[in-house]
Amino acid sequence: MSRLTGFLIPAGWIYGGLVGLRRAWLRRCPPVRLPVPVISVGNLTVGGTGKTEAVLLICRQLQKLGRCPGILSRGYGRRSRTPMLVVSDGSGPLVRVEEAGDEPYLLAGRLPGTAVVVGKDRIASGTKAIKELGCNVLVMDDAFQRRDQIHRDLDILLVDAGDPWGGGRLLPAGRLREPLSGLLETDLIILTRTDQYPVRGIIDQLAKLTPGKPVLLARHAPKAIVSLGMGTRHESKYLARRRVLAVSGIARPQALAATLEALGAEVVHTLVFPDHYWYRDKDREYLRQQAEKWKAEIVTTAKDAVRLGWPLEWPVPVWILEVQFEIVNSEEGLSPWLERI
C-alpha cells in the first residue's frame, strides 16, 4: 500500500458513511413514481463499464417493442450552465456537443426516434420528456447512485470484468462509488467485457455477494470503422496488419488498444488523455505530428470522435472504431426484462 493510499483510506470511510446516510434517507422517503416505466443503468465503480453502449442497446430494443424511449442524463462534463437542456427530440442533436456533453450528444446522434434530455433534476427532465416529447418509457443513464427520488421499474447494474471491484476501496482511496452491499439493490447485473478477461471467479463472487440475482454476460463487439468527417465505412477487419495510433480520452483506455490488437492491427503507439477530455488545437496538432512520426493512421472511440473536431483538410486519417454491446449468454438478451415492465 502506498503512503498516499494509506492517507486516503480514512477519507474513503467518511465517503462511505455519507453514502450510507444518503441511502438510509432515501429509503425513508417515498420515491416519486412517474407515469411511465423507468429503467436505471449504472455502475458501482468510476466510469468505464460501457454504460453508453448498454443504453444504446436498451433504447433500440425498446423501439422494437413499439415504445418511444427518452434518455435522462446529467450531462457530465458539458459546458452549458443551462439547468435543463433538450439535446434531441428524436430528430438528432439540437445543440452543440459542448453544450450537451459527449455522451448525450453521441446518444442523440445514434438513436433516431429517442429523445435525450440533460439536467441535474431528473424528475423535471423526465416530466418534460413525457409531457412535451412524447416519451412513454424513460432510461436514466448513470443513475445507480440514486441522486434523485424517482421510482425505478428496472434497475440494471453494470460490472466491468476488467475492474469489477474498483480496487476494493471506496473513493478517493479506490474506484468504488458504492460499497459492494449496493449490489443487493439492483434487479439485474450485467458483467461487461467478458470477451477480454476471465470471468469465472467474478461470477462465483457475485453469486456469494448477491444470492439469486440474475447475471447476464456482455461484450463490446467491434463492428466497423468509420472515417471521421468523411463517412467512409469499412468492416473492422480492415484494420488487420495496418499501423495504427490508438487515441482515447475515456475511463478505460486500455480497452481500445486491446480491441485493436485483437483485430490484428499493429498498434505502434498509444496516446491517452483524461476521461471526457475536450481536445484543443494544440492537441490536434500533436496528434497529427505523432501520426506522421509513427507513419500510422489514428484510431479513436466514438465518444472521443465527438470531442476531437479533426480538420478534414489534414492528410492524416482518423478512424472511429464502432462497437456493439451484445449479451452473450442469453438468446433473448434483455428483451424479457424490458417486456416485463
Low-confidence spans in the chain with pLDDT less than 50: 1, 4
Same domain as 83, residue 182: yes
**Lookup: cell for 148:** 434523485
The span from the CA of 55 to the CA of 125, in Å, is 17
The span from the CA of 237 to the CA of 239, in Å, is 5
The span from the CA of 49 to the CA of 68, in Å, is 25
The residue out of 178, 213, 248 marking a domain boundary is 213
- Phi–psi pair at 85, nearest 5 degrees: -140, 130
Same domain as 224, residue 198: no
pLDDT at 172: 77
The residue out of 150, 181, 213 marking a domain boundary is 213
The span from the CA of 77 to the CA of 311, in Å, is 23
- Name the 3-class secondary structure at 160: strand
Q: Which residue has the cell 478512424?
A: 319
The span from the CA of 169 to the CA of 341, in Å, is 34
Same domain as 164, residue 248: no
Same domain as 226, residue 207: no
CA distances from 113 to 93, 135, 175, 248, 311 (A): 11, 10, 35, 29, 30
> Which of 164, 169, 124, 152 has its CA nearest to residue 5?
169
Residue 338, domain member (yes or no)? no
Same domain as 152, residue 122: yes
Residue 331, domain member (yes or no)? no
Same domain as 16, residue 117: yes
Question: What DSSP string describes 90-142?
Answer: SSS--S-HHHH-HHHHHHHHH-TT-EEEEES-HHHHHHHHHHTT--SEEEEET
The span from the CA of 190 to the CA of 336, in Å, is 14
Q: Which residue has the cell 444504446?
A: 56
The residue out of 191, 213, 235 marking a domain boundary is 213
- At 287-318, the pLDDT tens digits run 999 999 999 999 999 999 999 999 988 989 99
Same domain as 266, residue 181: no
pLDDT at 5: 53
Decide if 42 contacts 72 (C-beta within 8 A). no
Question: How many domains does the chain divide into?
Answer: 2
Same domain as 63, residue 44: yes
CA end-to-end span of the chain, whole Å?
Answer: 46
Residue 119, domain member (yes or no)? yes
Distance of CA 102 to the CA centre of its chain: 11
Instruction: Give the range of the structural domain holding residue 124, as residue numbers without chain letter.
Output: 3-213
CA distances from 270 to 18, 173, 264, 285 (A): 38, 27, 16, 16
Same domain as 195, residue 117: yes
Same domain as 320, residue 206: no
Same domain as 155, residue 75: yes
CA distances from 98 to 48, 78, 276, 283, 306 (A): 21, 6, 11, 17, 9
**Lookup: cell for 307:** 470531442
